[in-house]
Amino acid sequence: MTDEADERPFDSDLDVAETATAGVRFNIAVGDTLSADALQPVARAAWGLVEDGGAPAELLREARAARRRLELVCGATGERHFLDNVIEYARTRRPRRRRAGRKIDGPPA
């Protein structure tokens, strides 16, 4: 029996962002600018989630758009699989709760 965490393709927003960034860098390194260009907006949206922890609507939109752009690209099987996982992650992800300030944190800067 597996728990829900084992079934999720990514552990966190940071995991998505780092993986997408690695995909962009890899595709640039091998000269696949089509795949790199498709993944770049996904990486940017994922880093946005890392920064603000809000709803994943932009990540979902960008992943779906990238998936459509890569539909007919030869040899982009890994990238398409990655995007399918990002779409699933974004569809099932819940926004993080923002922590309320605590007295110990001191006054806002």
Average pLDDT taken over every residue of the chain: 87
pTM score above 0.75: yes
pLDDT at 1: 45
The answer to whether residue 106 scores a pLDDT higher than 70 is: no
Instruction: Tell me the three state secondary structure of residue 58.
Output: helix
CA distance 10 to 23: 15
Per DSSP, the residues of 37-51 read HHHHHHHHHHHHHHH
